[in-house]
């Protein structure tokens, strides 16, 4: 039961991480007063880094569930999709 609670809370946290990362990227770009191509480049890199963080979080959750092989791949893919949809 405790593991289920930990997984559920981490799903909520990391699901919101993708949306927060997008807002955070916008805020960072505004703080740096970026515009045009510089802003586009920064946003692209920032969002790519956020996606990598989400993937790492999903893989961590899969490891907690002790998933391997196709089950792990399926879980990670769905987890990443859910994180992207939370944006």
Q: What is the mean pLDDT of residues 62-85?
A: 92
Please state, rounded to an integer, the average pLDDT across all residues of the chain: 82
| Domain boundaries, given as residue ranges, for the chain | 2-85
Instruction: Name the pLDDT band for 84 (thresholds 50, 70, 90).
Output: confident
With 80 as the cut, is the pLDDT of residue 46 above it? yes
Residue 35 DSSP class: -
The pTM (predicted TM-score) of the whole model is 0.62
| Residue-level pLDDT at 5 | 45
- Identify the three-state secondary structure at position 71: helix
- CA separation for the pair 31, 49 (Å, rounded): 18
With 60 as the cut, is the pLDDT of residue 7 above it? no
Percent of the chain residues past pLDDT 70, beyond the cut: 74
């Amino acid at each position: 039961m405790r593991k289920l609670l930990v997984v559920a809370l981490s799903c909520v946290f990391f699901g919101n991480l993708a949306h927060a990362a997008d807002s955070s990227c916008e805020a960072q770009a505004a703080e740096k007063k970026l515009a045009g191509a510089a802003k586009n480049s920064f946003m692209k890199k920032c969002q790519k880094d956020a996606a990598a963080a989400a993937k790492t979080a999903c893989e961590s959750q899969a490891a907690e569930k002790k998933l391997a092989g196709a089950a792990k791949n399926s879980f990670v893919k769905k987890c990443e999709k859910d994180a992207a949809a939370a944006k």
